[in-house]
Amino acid sequence: MIYVENKDLVIPGQVLADDEYYSGRGTFKENGKVCSSLMGLVSLRNKKIRVIPLKSKYVPKKGDVVIGKINDVRFSMWDVDINSPYSGILPAFEVFGREKKELNKVYDVGDVLFLRVVDVDEIKKAKLGLKGRGMGKFKGGIIVDIAPTKVPRLIGKKGSMINMIKDKTNCKIVVGQNGLVWVKGDEDMEQLTKDVIHLIEAEAHTSGLTNKIKNKLYLAIDGEIPPEEVPEEEEEFVLEKPKLQNFKEELEQEEKEAEEEKQEEKEDKPGDDEEEKEDKPNIAEVIEELKRKNKKDNTFSYGESSMNSFILNNKK
Amino acid sequence: MSEMIRQDGRKFDELRPIKIEAGVLERADGSAYLEVGGNKILVAVYGPRESYIRRLLEPNTGVIRVRYNMAPFSVDDRKRPGPDRRSSEISKITADALRPALMLENYPRSMIDIYIEVIEAEGGTRCAGITAASVALVDAGIPMKDIVVGCAAGKVNDEVVLDLSEYEDKEGQADVPLAIMPRTGEITLLQSDGNLTEEEFAKAIDLAMEGCLEVSKLQKEALMKKYSTE
């Protein structure tokens, strides 16, 4: 016997079903009944009941990509705030191997980085690393904070939502699985993007959101609603979207895709070369590039970035 | 006898008007605002977050801390600000009343802070505080077995009545605050202050239980209202 339907909104302690159903994430079994332990939406699949929370804290998981802020510089590692009950550490050797360097010259307190969770230990402390493309320090831009459970919604199916926002606002957007979003673009576009992201967060549990956001964006930027060419097909496509259910798997896939696209995007813009390179400081090409440039004019024209001067100093 | 009308015109088993709102504070992880009669209570929940007090953390579960605080202007005679014996006691019993419902095994070594601020007080603030705190905990997305709800019964003019007002609390003969987990009916808080016979005590508990179930419905409505936009 089941007492709820798929996508129903439930609250903690609510009885969801009788014994013959399996209790999944966000539920527990008591006295032969499956009950919800969270406020969220029901997800039913093959007699397995799960509750997808509306709000939750990020708990680090191996392989996730996150955005973190340097909290403290220690002798051989950085303390990183990853918007979670558990702090992250970025060991020095993850950044420059066996060489010994001064840590605070590379990343200082307050710097925001794009990181990967390399490992999570038994007390849930996350060990972070910079291996992977696009990882490294962000320059400029703003950080928008959303609930980690809403991340798949912000990205949309195959990145549809996030790409639409990117295209329309011309902002660079990086989404961390810990619910932090980095946005860089024109100042007013950054603001608009921030508002839109917050709107998505607030209405993540409603359907037809992509269209709503699309209209809002077009209205804000072009001053008019987009031409009515798509709505028919779009509608069906959109209705399927609130599939928060398999978000973990989907998310991973989407994240990867989104990231790849991001990378492509970055590479596509030769004009931004210097800045992009600064964004991923630990890549060999960067060093090569900088070396070349250094030979050319032999001045630290990138001196304002401690990262680059560091590389230059060591490669001489 | 039970047809007696109380000082504020209520029947013996009638609650004061209640208003509950979830998610009222922008910066808190979860929050709730509650009005019961003349009580106005605001609760903020922060966490689970990294425990910055080492000695408090537990290696296999999360911990909660509760601070119950009355604003100096919340009562008729100005209350001296800051913690006192009464508020320390209420902070402790509130934490104890909420803890059985929380499932913090997934958040070891973390801490949840609950701040209960009484803006206006008119009797029964500890129960109102518990009721509001559990709504705020749900709003914060913390896993719970059930939504704890509190309600008091008492004895006024030799009559067992539900949900004492400030006047009844002061003039009455007994006060029995009760908090339960409504799904199973488990009692998480039971205090008794004053003189009651055995029968009166049993009656007071039954009455308070019914009151709790009534308030519980309002809690659920408030939570549903927050997120059901269409």
Q: Which residues partner with B157 through β-bridges?
A: none
Assess B107–A contact: CB distance below 8 Å, yes or no. Answer: yes
Residues A219 and A148 in one domain: yes
For A284, the domain range is: 278-314
Q: Residue B49 belongs to what H/E stretch?
A: strand B39-50
ipTM: 0.90
Residues A213 and A146 in one domain: yes
pLDDT in tens, A138-192: 998 999 999 898 898 899 888 889 999 998 889 999 999 999 999 999 999 999 9
Q: Check B143 against A12: CB less than 8 A apart.
A: yes
DSSP calls for B181-226 = ETTTTEEEEE--EE---HHHHHHHHHHHHHHHHHHHHHHHHHHHHH
Strand runs labelled E in B82-173: 110-120, 149-156, 159-162
Is the model's pLDDT at A205 over the cut of 60?
yes
Q: For chain A, which residues lie within 8 Å of any Cβ of chain B, measuring from their own Cβ?
A: 9, 11-13, 15, 26, 28, 30-31, 35, 37-39, 53-57, 59, 85-87, 123-124, 147, 149, 203, 205-206
**Residue B167: partners with Cβ closer than 8 Å, 6 or more residues away:** B7, B8, B123
Domain stops at, among A139, A160, A180? A139
pLDDT confidence of residue B50? 87
Output the six-digit token pair for A53: 């929370």
Residues A131 and A163 in one domain: no
Residues A69 and A118 in one domain: yes
Residues A133 and A162 in one domain: no
User: In this structure, is residue A22 part of a structural domain?
Assistant: yes
Chain B residues within an 8 Å CB radius of A87: 50
Q: Report the distance separating Cα A58 and Cα A115, nearest Å.
A: 15
**Residue A179: partners with Cβ closer than 8 Å, 6 or more residues away:** A58, A83, A145, A146, A147, A148, A150, A151
User: In this structure, is residue A172 part of a structural domain?
Assistant: yes
Supply the CATH number for residue A150's domain: 3.30.1370.10
User: In this structure, is residue A186 part of a structural domain?
Assistant: yes
User: In this structure, is residue A173 part of a structural domain?
Assistant: yes
Instruction: Say which residue the tokens 């039970």 belong to.
Output: B2
Domain stops at, among A53, A68, A88? A53
Is the model's pLDDT at A243 over the cut of 50?
no
Is the model's pLDDT at A117 over the cut of 60?
yes
pLDDT in tens, A9-39: 999 999 999 988 999 999 999 989 999 999 9
pLDDT confidence of residue B218? 96
Q: Who among B48, B138, B144 is closest to A57 (CB)?
A: B48
Residue of B nearest to A58 (CA): B48
DSSP B99: G
User: In this structure, is residue A246 part of a structural domain?
Assistant: no
Q: Who among A13, A123, A205 is closest to B147 (CB)?
A: A13
User: In this structure, is residue A267 part of a structural domain?
Assistant: no
Residues A39 and A72 in one domain: no
Residues A132 and A167 in one domain: no
**Number of residues that make up chain B:** 230
Residues A127 and A75 in one domain: yes
Which pLDDT tens digits describe chain B residue by residue (230 residues)? Answer: 456 788 889 999 999 999 999 999 989 999 999 999 999 999 999 989 988 888 988 888 999 999 999 999 999 999 999 999 999 999 999 999 999 999 999 898 899 999 999 999 999 999 999 999 999 999 999 999 999 999 999 999 999 999 999 999 999 999 999 999 999 999 999 999 999 999 999 999 999 999 999 999 999 999 999 887 64
Assess B144–A contact: CB distance below 8 Å, yes or no. Answer: yes
CA-CA-CA-CA dihedral for B205, B214, A6, B137, to nearest 10? -70
**What average pLDDT does the structure give for chain A?**
77
Q: Check A86 against B143: CB less than 8 A apart.
A: no
pLDDT confidence of residue A260? 61
Q: Report the distance separating Cα A53 and Cα A49, nearest Å.
A: 13
Q: Check B138 against A26: CB less than 8 A apart.
A: no
Residues A128 and A157 in one domain: no
Residues A25 and A70 in one domain: no
Domain count, chain A: 4
Q: Report the distance separating Cα A198 and Cα A100, nearest Å.
A: 42
- The closest of B203, B153, B189, B188 to B174, measured between CA atoms, is B153
- Interface test mutation site (partner B, options A9, A11, A71, A146, max chain B beta carbons within 10 A): A11
User: In this structure, is residue A252 part of a structural domain?
Assistant: no
Chain A residues within an 8 Å CB radius of B106: 59
Residue of A nearest to B101 (CA): A13
Domain stops at, among A92, A123, A139? A139
Q: Report the distance separating Cα B114 and Cα B134, nearest Å.
A: 10
Supply the CATH number for residue A132's domain: 2.40.50.140
pLDDT confidence of residue A37? 95
- The closest of B136, B6, B22, B126 to B68, measured between CA atoms, is B126
Top-confidence residue, A103 or B177: B177
**Number of residues that make up chain A:** 316
Residue of B nearest to A59 (CA): B107
Distance from the A122 Cα atom to the nearest Cα atom in chain B, whole angstroms: 10
Residues A79 and A27 in one domain: no
User: In this structure, is residue A61 part of a structural domain?
Assistant: yes
Residues A19 and A48 in one domain: yes
Output the six-digit token pair for A49: 């009941």
